[in-house]
Amino acid sequence: GAGVSQSPSNKVTEKGKDVELRCDPISGHTALYWYRQSLGQGLEFLIYFQGNSAPDKSGLPSDRFSAERTGGSVSTLTIQRTQQEDSAVYLCASRLYSNQPQHFGDGTRLSIL
Amino acid sequence: EDQVTQSPEALRLQEGESSSLNCSYTVSGLRGLFWYRQDPGKGPEFLFTLYSAGEEKEKERLKATLTKKESFLHITAPKPEDSATYLCAVQAQGGSEKLVFGKGTKLTVNP
């Protein structure tokens, strides 16, 4: 079946612009996660959704970052007033039940000029 | 704070040369330890979940083991197609859903 789909696959933008990243989870998966992978760093947790609610936003690095999920499916991660340090690969994952592994998309590579 | 340390950072093997990757962890109650494989430009691909010390899981040339402080990913007679970055992650008890990842081991298998 279809896996986690993320768009765009690549995004180049100028410092100070806002960007929106999209994640389509595996159909029926109730939980959705956003992570960030910077060069030389491990994957860093950003936010977790269960349905449309976000019980854990502890990884969002600043108030410039926000995310929402609608209809228990698609999620968007928004970064306002982008900075060069926001350059990274943003990965989305979803899972079905709490004892199931998280399955990842191929990410959006974000480059801030 | 939950932490995961993977070693070595990089490993070069000849085809058929078996070896092991290490994942040391500290966590406030382990809910699960996960191994993923990541190819360049791709997202992590799930390999194994281990839940308790002494547990082992196998898939083709890979075997994952778990103790109370570390996990090993044993690669037997590797092939060039096993070349990838292998990631280890832990999930803590207590309701947290996030995975805490190590920085990975980049494995290169030469023909």
Given CB atoms, is A102 within the 8 Å cutoff of chain B?
yes
Q: How far is A112 from chain B (nearest CA, A)?
A: 18
Segments in A1-113 forming alpha helices (H): none
Distances (CA, A) of B46 to A59, A78, B85: 22, 27, 12
Q: What is the mean pLDDT of residues A43-69?
A: 96
According to the model, what pLDDT value does residue A99 have?
A: 79
pLDDT digits (tens, 9 = 90+) for B14-60: 999 999 999 999 998 999 999 999 999 999 999 999 999 999 999 99
Q: Is pLDDT of A1 > 70?
A: no
Contact B99 A104 (CB under 8 A): no
Residue at A99: amino acid letter? N
Residue of A10, A38, A41, A43 to mutate, testing the B interface (most B Cβ within 10 Å of its Cβ): A43
Strands (E), chain A: 5-7, 10-13, 19-24, 31-37, 43-50, 53-56, 65-69, 75-79, 88-95, 103-104, 108-112
Euclidean distance between CA atoms B9 and B14, whole angstroms: 17
pLDDT 10s digits, B61-104: 999 999 999 999 999 999 999 999 999 999 999 877 899 999 99
B43, B97, B98 member nearest A105 (Cβ): B43
Amino acid (1-letter code) at residue B90: V
Residue B43 to residue A91, Cβ atoms within 8 A: yes
CA of B99: which chain A residue's CA is closest? A45
pLDDT of residue B94: 82
Q: Which residue has the tokens 């190819």?
A: B39
B60 touches chain A (CB under 8 A): no
Q: Are B61 and B83 in contact (CB under 8 A)?
A: no
Q: CB atoms < 10 A from the CB of A8, how many?
A: 13
